[in-house]
Chain A
Amino acid sequence: MPSKLLLLTCALTTVAMVFQILPVISMPLVNSIYLSRYNGRLFGVFGWCVVSTGVCTPARIGYAMQCAVQDTDGIDTATICDLEEFTSNFLPSRAKRAISKLLVVHPMSLFFTTILWIATIALNTRVFARSRRALACAVLWSLPAVFLSLLSFLVDVLLFVPYLAWPGWLILVSTVFISTASCIMCGVRRSVSLQKYEKLRGKEVIELVPMQSDKIQSETLNLSPGDSQSQRAASLASPYLVNKPYYPSS
């Protein structure tokens, strides 16, 4: 059962990582993906482009005002992207342009999610599948991953609402997936530690009395009193016995 859950965790983090890659490779890296379209501009994580001319700013953290245009010799030259005055209508939410530097949380979130994805893949191998320490590390690593993913979504909302495009909303889905994976890993860690504790307790000799097979056992003892050791071993292996200590679910 834990292996299936770990497989599900791996699937969830894979989808979450793919969903986080899409906004990061948005404008100006890939022209068809953008976080928002507003006032004739397409916004991405590392820059923005003008729809009419197709000119984009160089890729950097924080939105620049200089566009990279290639001259006749193919050399990049900087020019003003738009003749329009950049005032309150630059971003959809009227946030000041300096706030766009907060989009740096997108690549940070992708980095944490990628490491988490690698960790979930490692947890599906035989070496780490039963390691409580590896599971605990993955759970602890997932906390900043969820945190940064949620922060990325909030930054997108703050900058681009009400013109947030689908890659921005994918971040919310990614956050939900990572948090679900984190909860599953937490549960798997508990079950693994429980199984290890059961194994530890299983070595102790505990005298267990069968509850439903009392009569059967007494009858068999009467029939063949000399073979008591084998009967006792058989009764301990009987499915009627409760040979597991009680562990409440929490």
Chain B
Amino acid sequence: MSKADSWRYDKGNNTYESCKGLNLGSGILLRSHKDTPMAFYNGIHFTSYCDNGMPVYSALLKTADSFPYLDAIQQDWNQFISVDDSDRGPFKYSIYAILLSFTANFVIVLSLTIIVFITVRQKPYRGASNLLKLGSSLASINLTIFVAKALNLLKSEHVNKAIVSTDEVLDLLGSDMAFTCLDFFVVLICQLCQVQIVMRLFSRVREKRLVFLTGFILSIISQVLWAIPSFTKLARNHFTGGSYDDDGLILLSPFVYLLRITFSAFYASIIIFNVFIKRQLCFHNQRMTLLTVITILIIFLQPAFFVADVTNIWVDDLSEIFNTTCYVGSAVIVWQWVDHLLILERKVQAQSVLGRPVYVDDQEDNYFARYALKTQEPTTVNDVTSSSNSSGPYGNIPSQIPAAPDANKVEFSERPPVKERVWQGCTRIVDGMLYYTDHFIIKGLAIKTLSLHSKNSSDDYSKRKAKVRRRIGLDRPNEIYVYATRDVVFDSDEAEDVGAVQESGEDVFHHEEARTFA
């Protein structure tokens, strides 16, 4: 983001003489071109290459035989790197730190993408997992293109100007159309994934529906508000070259920034609340504990960057690229955490006596079935008997089936009043939204219960196999038992066959017991 377009003033107010120009005086021999002869100049005015009035690195090779720098330039450079209040001077703000941040973000996002494709299960959340894969893939592509462009820019500056400019690289964040467009979609997809993660944490269908509608609308609003200043600035930079500060768009940029921080704080609060109420499961084993700790760290990353931003302007420049990493991380890692948490929860519920909690919303399918029965009943009743008082056990359910048209009644095709039409339109819109919410999001993503047989639960499979082997006795093949045979003696035969009972061996089992044991 260019400093001129930022909603904050530059940090450094120092003026450097070498950037404004130095009068070197007379007595200098110069050759302007290799074909022209060397000439003597009386007055030389030298201006060093600067970015926004600040010195830049020189990419020239300096050896013991090369000419020394001018004293004024050397003095400016020393002042530039020594002032702690400076914007780019100290080493931690240099191009090396920025390149390290870019490449670290690139590697992190690439790793998260690989994790998504390897570990995230396709079922039962097919749509959400595809969305997650799409978002992480787009983020990886975006950062790959950006790193390639940044390196290309550094190369061209190295070759053509013999400098290494920090501002030119940072300007790419706000001026590159491809990066801005892809970043828009990446953040939107990650926000929708976050909405689905929050939906999975709620049990009741109504809550899931509310979370989806609220989260979806807020995500769209947030991204639209973000797009207005970003694309306006981009369009002006590309086409007219107008100033960004001319209108009130400068106010929108920090507002959206704070909006995103607020949403991420809400998201972190919901996750932390769930960690607290399900702490037994979150710290169930070592693997889950590690995943929970990573989840807590990643969800607080964006609020932490806000705190770092308000104390250090350097982070503001990299906020876009850090945002991508934060969003992808808080979607992918938290998705994995929720996946593991729900599997553990289902296991505990499966082992308990009471099983899974059932809510009122879960009985809606039952209501639908009863409603269907209710609709069938009048026709059946009318066919069999003509009695009308056949409410039966479903009499409380209001029938919404339109009554059959009466042959003796004259009906006019009048248009309903405006109020009724508006009401019908609103009802139709709300019903449509609920339909799509239920079918595409809740039914497809959330209601389906998690299968206990996950892909990576091979240890569970081996445990079950061992249990079965132990139950049927295959785990002790070398232990040999000698069974005795005993004839069944009835009372009537007792007198005759008293001595017919035979016993042998040390380990004696009755025939029935042995069968029971097997």
Contacts and interface: CB of A to CB of B under 8 A. Distances in A.
Nearest to A139: B210
Given A95-B254, A157-B310, A179-B269, A197 B8 contact: no
Contacts of B7: 95-96, 98-99
A93 interface: yes
Interface stretch (A116-124, A146-154, A213-221, A223-231): A146-154
A125 interface: no
Contacts of B306: 154
B311 A197 contact: no
B477 interface: no
A186 to B, nearest CB: 9
Contacts of B261: 154
B73 interface: no
B259 A88 contact: no
B252 to A, nearest CB: 10
Given A197-B360, A248-B354, A158 B258 contact: yes
A96 B9 contact: yes
A67 B259 CA distance: 32
A151 B357 contact: no
Interface string A67-102: 000000000000000000001100001111011011
Contacts, number: 63
B482 to A, nearest CB: 46
A155 interface: yes
Interface residues of B, number: 30
A151 B262 contact: yes
A89 to B, nearest CB: 8
Contacts of B311: 161-162
Contacts of B214: 143
A246 B258 CA distance: 44
A115 B313 CA distance: 38
A150 B251 contact: no
Contacts of A150: 262, 265-266
A161 B248 CA distance: 23
Nearest to A100: B251
B310 A151 contact: no
Query: Is the interface on chain A under 10, 10 to 19, 20 to 34, or 35 or more residues?
Result: 20 to 34
B361 to A, nearest CB: 12
Interface centre among B11, B214, B258 (most CB of A within 10 A): B258
B251 A94 contact: no
Contacts of A32: none
B269 A98 contact: no
A250 interface: yes
B250 interface: yes
Contacts of A248: 354, 357
Contacts of B11: 94
B365 to A, nearest CB: 18
A98 B13 CA distance: 20
B8 A96 contact: yes
Interface in B183-231: 203-204, 214
Given A96-B8, A247-B357, A248-B354, 11 more contacts: A87-B9, A94-B11, A94-B313, A96-B245, A102-B254, A143-B214, A147-B266, A154-B258, A157-B310, A161-B310, A161-B311
30 contacts: A88-B13, A94-B8, A94-B313, A95-B254, A96-B8, A96-B250, A98-B7, A99-B251, A101-B251, A102-B258, A143-B214, A147-B262, A147-B266, A150-B262, A151-B259, A154-B258, A154-B261, A155-B258, A158-B254, A158-B258, A158-B310, A161-B311, A162-B311, A179-B269, A197-B360, A246-B354, A248-B354, A248-B357, A250-B204, A250-B359
Closest 6 CB pairs of A and B: A88-B9, A248-B357, A94-B9, A154-B258, A161-B310, A150-B262
Interface of A: 87-88, 93-96, 98-99, 101-102, 143, 147, 150-151, 154-155, 157-158, 161-162, 179, 197, 246-248, 250
